[in-house]
Amino acid sequence: MPEIILEDQDGTFAMLRDSVAAFAQRFDGPKALRARRDAGWDLDRDIWSAMAEAGWLGLMLPEDLGGAELGLSEQTILSEALGRALITEPLAQLSVFAGTLLAGAQAGQERTRLAEGLVSGSLIVTPAWQDMSGGFAAVNATVDADGVTLSGAAELVVAAASADVFLVVARLQDERVLISVPKETTGLTLSERPTVDGATLSQIRFDNCRVAAAQVLARGLLGSGLLEDAIQATRLTLAAELAGAGSKALEDTVTYTKERVQFGKPVASFQAIQHRLVDMWGAAEFACAAIVNALERLVDEPGKPAALAVLAAKARAGDAAVDISRKAIHLHGAMGFTDECDIGLYMKRAVNLNATLGNPAQLRLQFVALERAS
């Protein structure tokens, strides 16, 4: 079946794939998703702690912050494997996005505390930076002698109910700053709503929330490129997870159509079914190839060419995973529409990840705008 193919000289990629396969034996992805959804949780703490023990939460964080200091190639292989196993804890947002921000933040006790807590799984550090359109949250910060005051709201926040600390991107005069805000801060309120795959997204409101000046972790986020780096790394991570989910949906469908018999023959023997499976296979292969291309551009042509490649990879992987999983449901027949059939969970997961940090239409518009920019 299609997968992200990278040169694996020291066996790290094979080890990561094997570790996820072993993990999935302990924590069955579809079963865990249903249990979390039915319980109304936004995060399974047992699974998250086990992911921390596996060393996955700090995969790209520097060693001086307790991480493994590996790169995006290792992260994409891990995320692809998690997508295949349908392990749906929000690693991309809570590890990759938050970790990238912390890695680029100013050195200090608060940064160290958050990074160590993220790696160990003892702290859920959740970014809060978007509005409903995916742009910057309308959160304003003012500074005085006693600290920082925050007012406004952030949208599309994942795992907000489970969070211990929010990494808030706020406007301070003419710049964007990163501020650590404990969940128990007075004036902070949240409201949740479910997503299609059983996760939740929340609105976080800040009503004159006061935090210490030491909790300002970084300034000039846009000029430094730190926020762009976090978005880019997370988009590629999401693309890999989408590619993994799409490939597994294809694999399960091939197996099912070989076993399902109609008119005395396996369904997979009919030419019309074979054509559809080939189309699904091609979409999965192109998604994986787009991710490999983005990883190569990040090394060989950082900057605009790499940014374009990441946008293309996320758009293609999102389209592929949604299209493959929808066709997979159809090829499973009536049972594919039931909640007891895992194939529907892959489709719902693909729909959710496809919309995260830009759906394909939005990403293509960004691609064209960036390509035309001088």
pLDDT means per 10 residues, the chain with 374 residues, are: 93 96 96 93 95 96 95 97 97 97 95 97 96 92 93 97 97 94 96 91 96 94 89 98 98 94 88 95 98 96 95 98 97 90 96 96 96 85
CATH number at residue 275: 1.20.140.10
* 315 and 198 inside one domain: no
- Let me know if residue 4 belongs to a domain: no
| Among candidate residues 102, 120, 138, the one where a domain is terminated | 120
pLDDT of residue 335: 87
pLDDT at residue 268, rounded to an integer: 87
Same domain, yes or no, for 193 and 235?
Answer: no
Give the total number of structural domains in the chain.
Answer: 3
Kindly give the residue spans of alpha helices, DSSP state H, lying in 42-108: 45-53, 72-85, 91, 98-103
Whether residue 341 is contained in a domain is answered as yes
- Check which CATH number belongs to the domain holding 183 and give it: 2.40.110.10
The answer to whether residues 322 and 355 belong to one domain is yes
- Report yes or no on 2 lying in a domain: no
Q: For position 148, what pLDDT does the model report?
A: 96
> Considering the domain boundaries, does residue 211 fall inside one?
yes
242: which residues sit within 8 A by CB, 6+ positions away? 83, 287, 314, 317, 318, 320, 321, 350, 353, 354
Q: Is the separation of the CB atoms in 77 and 16 below 8 Å?
A: yes
pLDDT score recorded for residue 334: 86
pTM of the predicted model as reported, rounded to 2 decimal places:
0.96
Q: Which of 221, 253, 272 is the last residue of a domain?
A: 221
Residues 267 and 366 grouped into a single domain: yes
CATH classification at residue 49: 1.10.540.10
- The pLDDT of residue 121 is 96
246 with 153, same domain? Answer: no
User: What confidence score (pLDDT) does residue 103 get?
Assistant: 96
- Evaluate the CA torsion angle 326, 331, 334, 338 in order and state its sign: negative
Identify the domain boundary among 221, 243, 258.
Answer: 221
Same domain membership, residue 367 and residue 257: yes
Examine residue 170 and state whether it is found in any structural domain, yes or no.
yes
- Asked if the structure places residue 95 within a domain, the reply is yes
Confidence at residue 134, expressed as pLDDT on a 0 to 100 scale: 87
Q: Which domain holds residue 48?
A: 12-120
Do 20 and 70 fall into the same domain? yes
Domain co-membership, 283 together with 359: yes
| 205 and 312 belong to one structural domain | no
What was the pLDDT predicted at 369?
Answer: 95
Residue 6 lies in a domain: no
Question: Is residue 80 domain-shared with residue 31, that is, in the same domain?
Answer: yes
The rounded distance, in Å, linking the Cα atoms of 317 and 327 is 15
pLDDT score, position 371 = 93
pLDDT of residue 374: 67
DSSP 249-306: HHHHHHHHHHH-EETTEEGGGSHHHHHHHHHHHHHHHHHHHHHHHHHHHHHHSTTHHH
* The dihedral sign for the CA sequence 162, 235, 198, 80: negative
| Whether residue 300 sits in one domain with residue 345 | yes
Distance CA 95, CA 251 (A): 28
pLDDT recorded at residue 102: 97
Residue 244 covered by a domain: yes
Dihedral sign of CA atoms 341, 343, 345, 351 in order:
negative
| Whether 241 and 364 share a structural domain | yes
